[in-house]
């Protein structure tokens, strides 16, 4: 089955942010264009504003002479632009001048400018003569041409001045209306040219910054993930930290903590039930054993005693599971060789403890009762499955390994893992309940150790438990 590919959150965010930015920018441009189309605003620069203001003040006196009234608008404009000047001329040659008019503009406009509807007059960058704006306008005095500027020389510039000019002419139909069918393709190209660099810059910025922002935002999850990886049956009461977890992820972590709490409570209830049941069974089992021993020695009574012993052993192994819940702070440094020498079981074949070839005595930080019970179960397993004869050997080395060896029929290679499963027995008619090796493995895992069945040409089974040795 193909493993499903996991999506990267940061690249999902990058793609969606880029699309969102592009869509937002496009919508903004469309809305601006629509607003400009509906409002049809008149964008005036200073010189154009001067002409528009002067136009409202142009009039004729009683003799038909061209005059410029001092209107409020014109007075306000002069206060804002004290260097303003202008020339107003009509078709008959009458003119009105105001301000410091540069010589170049005091001359005759010439035939071309005299017929122009509007124009911006400028000079080279090195020329200090100012730029002016000319426009033919309708006033109270009739149609006149006004040429005006807000300064008499470029030297009067204060600070920074930016001049931006743009002329857009749309194709027209024979009746003078705009032909948008011809204009729209060119307009679309212009918009793409203007929009594409912005989208590229925004996309590149998003591509670079979003992964870093995501990693930084989720940095607090690293500790939470590491702690979650350490949760095991022995640390089921652990709660994941939410202090540095992003607010959007916190509900998930809190829900996980609540799940852990419910699982721990359920596991504890289950263990208490098993322990209570095992305790309750011990009394009737002891009574049965006593009464069975009073029976006459017959084959049926022997089988009855055998079954009662099996029930007693099962109850004891259920009680032994409570050893798994002992806190880790009860661990102490123990001498494994001394611990092995104290393992004693009744009714067993000969058991030997070989001398260590080195004077080093392996020391391990462990819970004494747990390791003792694990070794006892390994030895009991060797007694029950060793064929009822031969020698059981406990071997220790300085690396913290303890081997239990018997001289029985051994364990088939395909059963090496199965024998550690709870209630699993190689021989259904054996005395054991199938919990001894499972309990031994759980105890070894609680101490960060291992337990396994060794493979080799020797006779019998060899089970090795390795514990961490204190340096």
Q: What is the pLDDT of residues 378-398, one digit of tens each?
A: 888 888 777 666 788 888 887
Task: Band the pLDDT of 161: cuts 50, 70, 90.
Answer: low
- Cα distance between residue 179 and residue 334, in whole Å: 97
Element spanning 115, H or E: helix 110-115
Reference 56, options 42, 39, 73, 41; nearest CA is 73
Reference 57, options 114, 141, 124; nearest CA is 141
pLDDT at residue 207 is higher than 70: yes
Partnered with residue 120 across adjacent β-strands are: 133
Extract long-range pairs of 87-95: CB within 8 Å, 24+ residues apart: 87/146, 87/147, 87/148, 88/54, 88/58, 88/144, 88/145, 88/146, 89/144, 89/145, 90/66, 90/141, 90/142, 90/143, 90/144, 90/145, 91/142, 91/143, 91/144, 94/65, 94/66, 95/66
Going across the sheet that includes 142-149, the strands are 95-98, 85-90, 142-149, 132-139, 118-121
The CATH architecture that domain 218-325 belongs to is Orthogonal Bundle (1.10)
* Distances in whole angstroms, Cα of residue 307 to Cα of each of 73, 310, 360: 118, 5, 44
Task: Band the pLDDT of 176: cuts 50, 70, 90.
Answer: low
- pLDDT for 113 equals 66
Rounded average pLDDT over 139-150: 86
- pLDDT for 234 equals 65
CATH of domain 327-466: 3.30.565.10
pLDDT at residue 340 is higher than 80: no
Most confident of 246-250, 362-366, 420-424, 440-444: 440-444
- Cα distance between residue 453 and residue 410, in whole Å: 10
pLDDT at residue 347 is higher than 70: no
Is there a contact between 403 and 394 (Cβ–Cβ < 8 Å)?
Answer: yes
Task: Band the pLDDT of 433: cuts 50, 70, 90.
Answer: low
Which is more confidently placed, 275 or 465?
A: 465
Contacts of 210 (CB under 8 A, 6+ apart): 10, 13, 14, 17
Q: Taking the complete model, does pTM exceed 0.85, yes or no?
A: no
Contacts of 351 (CB under 8 A, 6+ apart): 379, 391, 392, 393, 394
- Mean pLDDT is lowest, of 1-5, 117-121, 234-238, for 1-5
């Amino acid at each position: 089955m193909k493993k499903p590919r996991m999506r990267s959150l940061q690249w999902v965010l990058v793609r969606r942010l880029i699309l969102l930015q592009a869509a937002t920018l496009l919508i903004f441009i469309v809305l601006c264009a629509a607003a400009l189309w509906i409002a049809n605003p008149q964008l005036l620069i200073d010189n154009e504003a001067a002409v528009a203001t002067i136009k409202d003040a142009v009039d004729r006196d009683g003799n038909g002479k061209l005059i410029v009234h001092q209107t409020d608008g014109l007075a306000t404009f002069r206060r804002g632009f004290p260097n303003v000047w202008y020339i107003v001329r009509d078709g008959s040659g009458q003119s009105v001048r105001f301000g410091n008019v540069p010589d170049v503009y005091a001359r005759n406009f010439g035939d071309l400018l005299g017929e122009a509807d509007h124009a911006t007059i400028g000079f080279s960058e090195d020329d200090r003569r100012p730029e002016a704006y000319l426009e033919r306008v309708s006033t109270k005095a009739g149609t006149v041409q006004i040429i005006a500027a807000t300064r008499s020389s470029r030297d009067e510039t204060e600070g920074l001045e930016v001049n931006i000019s743009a002329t857009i002419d749309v194709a027209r139909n024979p009746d003078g209306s705009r032909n948008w069918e011809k204009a729209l393709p060119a307009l679309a190209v212009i918009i793409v040219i203007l929009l594409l660099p912005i989208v590229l810059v925004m996309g590149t910025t998003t591509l670079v910054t979003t992964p870093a922002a995501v990693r930084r935002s989720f940095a607090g999850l690293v500790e939470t993930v590491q702690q979650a990886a350490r949760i095991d049956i022995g640390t089921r009461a652990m709660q994941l930290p939410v202090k540095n977890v992003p607010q959007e992820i916190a509900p998930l972590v809190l829900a996980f903590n609540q799940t852990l709490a419910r699982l721990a409570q359920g596991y504890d209830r289950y263990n208490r039930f098993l322990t209570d049941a095992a305790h309750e069974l011990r009394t009737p089992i002891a009574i049965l054993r006593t009464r069975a021993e009073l029976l006459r020695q017959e084959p049926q009574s022997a089988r009855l005693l055998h079954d009662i012993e099996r029930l007693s052993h099962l109850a004891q192994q259920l009680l032994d599971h409570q050893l798994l819940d002992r806190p880790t702070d009860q661990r102490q440094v123990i001498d494994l060789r001394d611990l092995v020498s104290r393992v004693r079981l009744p009714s067993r074949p000969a058991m030997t403890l070989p001398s260590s070839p080195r004077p080093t005595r392996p020391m391990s930080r462990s819970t004494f009762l747990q390791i003792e019970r694990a070794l006892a179960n390994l030895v009991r397993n060797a007694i029950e499955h060793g064929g009822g004869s031969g020698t059981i050997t406990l071997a220790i080395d300085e690396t913290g390994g303890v081997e239990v060896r018997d001289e029985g029929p051994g364990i088939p290679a395909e059963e090496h893992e199965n024998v550690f499963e709870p209630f699993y027995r190689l021989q259904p008619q054996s005395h054991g309940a199938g919990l001894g090796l499972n309990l031994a493995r759980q105890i070894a895992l609680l101490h960060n150790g291992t337990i396994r069945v060794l493979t080799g040409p020797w006779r019998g089974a060899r089970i090795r438990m390795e514990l961490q040795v204190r340096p």
